[in-house]
Each structure stands twice: as C-alpha cells, then as structure tokens.
Amino acid sequence: MKHLMRIFTGGPEETELRGPNEIRHPDAMWREIFLRCHFDDLPRMKMVCKQFYAVLTNNFWKDRCELEGIALPPPQVVRLVHSRNSEFDYEYLYHYAHKGNVNPYGPNIVKDLPLERERAKEYAANLSWITYQSQGCTYEEPPVGYQATVECPNKCLATSYNWGYRQIVINLEKCGVEPWILDFLRPTVIVEEKHAPRHDCGAIYKLSIEMLRAEDVPSHGSHGRIRPDYAPNQSRGTMVEKSYEQWAVQPWVQESLQTVYPCGMTKALILTRAKDTQFWAGEYGMKFTDTVVRLEFTQEPHWYERNEIEDQRGDGEDLSSSLRTHPFRSLRIPLFRGNNNPYRRQLPGPGQ
C-alpha cells in the first residue's frame, strides 16, 4: 500500500503539501484498485483519508462479494429491508464468507465438506463456522451392494449393524448471516440428502435438523453416543425416518426437510443416523450422500414485528431478551473491532 500511495500521489513530500485528506486521483480509480487488494489491508485503508473512507462504502463490499462469487440475499428480501429503512451489511457478509470459504446465501453451504471422515474432520477443524462428528460410517466409492446406474451417486457413506451417525453443526452467524436476519426475516433452513439401502439387507434411516442458540449444546447424547430415542425439539426442528425391508430394490431417494424456529437461533444441527435391520457384520446398513444445506426466502418475505416474535409460541415464554439488534436506521457507522467478532455492530433496535 505504501508503494501505491507513492505512485499515485507523487511521493510523500507532495502528499504533505496537499494535506493528509487530499488525494488527487478519482474515486473510480481507487475503487478498482481496492476491489483487487488483499482483504486484510482494506479495513485499515478506511482510516487513511476521507476519500478512501468514502470509497469503501457498503456498495463497495457488495461489488466485492459479486466479484468473488459470494451470493447476495435475494432482491425481494433486499427491497423489504430497504422499505424498513435498513440494509444488509455486505462487509460483514464478505468478511465471514471470505475467511470461512463459505457461501451462506448460495445453493449449498456445505458444498465443500468431504465425505471421508478424516478429511471432513480436518476441513472443519480449520474453520470457525462448522463442527463435525462421525462414527460408524464407512466411505464407499462406488457404493457397494447396489446396482449403480448413470443417475446414481458414485460415492457415499455406508453404515453397519450398530447405529452409525454423522453430525454437522453450522454457525450461521459465522457464515456471514447477520443475527438480526434470523430474528426478523426468518429464512427457512432446508436440508436435502440422498439415501438408499443395499438390495440384500433391510435398513433404517433418520435425518433431522434442529436450530440452536449460540450457548446451546446438542441434547441427543454425550461422549460420542446418540440416544436411540432422540428427536429434535418440534418448535425449532424436524425429523424424517425411513425403513426398508430386505430385497426392497429401492432407488436412491432424496429427503428434504424444512424447519421454522423462534428468535435467538444461531446454529443449525444436522444429524444423520442409519443402520441395518439384520445385525450383519460389514457395511450392510443404509447409505447416504449428497447433503445440501441452504437458506430459502419466500417470494413475498415477511418482516416479524416484535409483538409477533414475543407471542408466536404461545407458551408464555418471554423471548424479547433473545432478540439481536439490527440496523433499523441505515446510518453507516464505524465498526468497532474486537478479538472475537471484529465486524459485529452494536446498533439500536426498533423503538430504542
């Protein structure tokens, strides 16, 4: 950056003569340069001069997202937010999506998660937005005991006579989804996954999703064990269970789950469990693969008012303390950097 300043401002002596807040080149030129600069340099550039601060606007970060293929919220949602005198923080989105190599508004949040257990654990260990656990699942390429066709998946996880499971926990806030979006806009969290039994053995399959608060821990078991009777909380999750008999000749089936949830949710827990029904040694249990996790907004999105949020569950629980602040006023204010969440903004909520 020092070399750029010297080249484009004529050297430090000339800069001093003009003053620290006078850069002679047009905004459009600096904008094109900043669009190609390393991300770590840009937050500091906002403090160099007034011109740089004016260039690095919310629209700049929106363009930076588009340049790097980071999906933006749908247009109908952006229009609704603007009608509320609010706006998405595209710098927040870019920061987490870029650092976490994730696309929260894209077609599949877990697109890059490997199927192999060790590779998946290594992948998740290097990222802050996902945790991964797996037990009793064997990687197969191609699937064994299944007569494959061109349309069939060419790799999967297979289970055995004991329950095998795979658990994925996604922190949506650390993916780049601002917390107030989950409270006031409530995108539907959709999970899709394919499964199939072997032709020669019966099998059972369970897929569930449950939304969690930031401080919540999974309640399905402990010490790496899953309770056989576990079912997600119905107010914030859902589950599907399938069972197949021996010689069922069952094609691959894609399950799709959608969940609604109360305010205060931050994480999505996706749990797959499967086994065979005949207690045979070897990988004779259910096979599963091609997991998709995505956020979906309706064509006519709804903005949840505070009275709706507090009364929606009807159980007398006061949910107002769970509400996260959101940019109710579209004033761009400086970002206060911290150790844990450098781009979290403390903004007043409605009525404050």
Tell whether 264 and 160 lie within a shared domain: yes
Tell whether 142 and 5 lie within a shared domain: no
Question: Looking at the predicted structure, is the pLDDT value of residue 159 above 80?
Answer: yes
Q: Which residue is associated with the tokens 């949830």?
A: 261
Asked if the structure places residue 343 within a domain, the reply is: no
- What is the structure's pLDDT at 348? 38
Question: Looking at the predicted structure, is the pLDDT value of residue 20 above 80?
Answer: no
Tell whether 136 and 49 lie within a shared domain: no
Amino acid at the residue 277: T
Tell whether 50 and 194 lie within a shared domain: no
Asked if the structure places residue 187 within a domain, the reply is: yes
| 66-70, 149-153, 172-176: least confident range | 149-153
Tell whether 52 and 130 lie within a shared domain: no
Sheet with strand 130-135: strands edge to edge: 130-135, 164-171, 267-276, 203-212, 237-244
- pLDDT averaged over every residue in the chain: 83
- What is the structure's pLDDT at 248? 84
- What is the structure's pLDDT at 147? 73
Q: Which residue is associated with the tokens 């927040």?
A: 92
Question: Looking at the predicted structure, is the pLDDT value of residue 75 above 60?
Answer: yes
Tell whether 49 and 125 lie within a shared domain: no
Question: Looking at the predicted structure, is the pLDDT value of residue 346 above 50?
Answer: no
Amino acid at the residue 98: H
Asked if the structure places residue 106 within a domain, the reply is: no
Tell whether 20 and 140 lie within a shared domain: no
Quickly state the pLDDT bin for 332 (edges 50, 70, 90). very low
Question: Looking at the predicted structure, is the pLDDT value of residue 13 above 80?
Answer: no
CATH number reported for the structural domain that contains residue 280 in this entry: 2.60.120.260
Last residue in a domain, options 296, 316, 341: 296
Looking at the DSSP bridge assignments, the partners of residue 258 are 190
Question: Looking at the predicted structure, is the pLDDT value of residue 7 above 70?
Answer: no
Tell whether 34 and 128 lie within a shared domain: no
Question: Looking at the predicted structure, is the pLDDT value of residue 171 above 70?
Answer: yes
Domain that holds residue 270: 117-296
pLDDT in tens, 212-249: 999 988 766 665 577 778 889 999 999 999 999 999 88
* Torsion angle in degrees (nearest 10) through CA of 106, 107, 113, 116: -170
Distance of CA 144 to the CA centre of its chain: 32
With pLDDT > 70 as the criterion, what percentage of the chain qualifies?
79
Asked if the structure places residue 175 within a domain, the reply is: yes
Tell whether 149 and 262 lie within a shared domain: yes
Distances (CA, A) of 27 to 12, 32, 39, 335: 20, 9, 19, 22
**What pTM did the predictor assign?**
0.82
Residue 266 near residue 198 (C-beta atoms within 8 A):
no
Asked if the structure places residue 182 within a domain, the reply is: yes
Tell whether 144 and 273 lie within a shared domain: yes
User: How far is it, in rounded angstroms, from Cα 212 to Cα 230?
Assistant: 15
pLDDT in tens, 277-294: 999 999 999 999 999 999
Q: Which residue has the higher pLDDT, 306 or 83?
A: 83
The runs of H, that is alpha helices, within the chain are 2-9, 12-18, 27-34, 42-45, 50-55, 58-67, 75-83, 90-100, 117-125, 172-175, 179-184, 306-311
User: For the chain, what is the domain count?
Assistant: 2
- Residues 6 or more apart whose CB falls under 8 angstroms from that of 270 comprise 167, 168, 169, 170, 191, 207, 208, 209, 291, 293
pLDDT in tens, 87-137: 999 999 999 999 999 999 999 999 999 999 999 999 999 999 999 999 999
Asked if the structure places residue 134 within a domain, the reply is: yes
Last residue in a domain, options 272, 296, 320: 296
Tell whether 146 and 287 lie within a shared domain: yes
Question: Looking at the predicted structure, is the pLDDT value of residue 17 above 90?
Answer: no
- What is the structure's pLDDT at 334? 38
Asked if the structure places residue 95 within a domain, the reply is: no
Quickly state the pLDDT bin for 59 (edges 50, 70, 90). very high
Q: Which residue has the higher pLDDT, 217 or 173?
A: 173
Residues in the chain: 352
Tell whether 272 and 175 lie within a shared domain: yes
Mean pLDDT, residues 319-327: 52
Question: Looking at the predicted structure, is the pLDDT value of residue 53 above 70?
Answer: yes
Asked if the structure places residue 96 within a domain, the reply is: no
Sheet with strand 188-196: strands edge to edge: 138-140, 156-158, 287-296, 188-196, 253-259
Phi first, then psi, for residue 320 (nearest 5°) are -65, -30
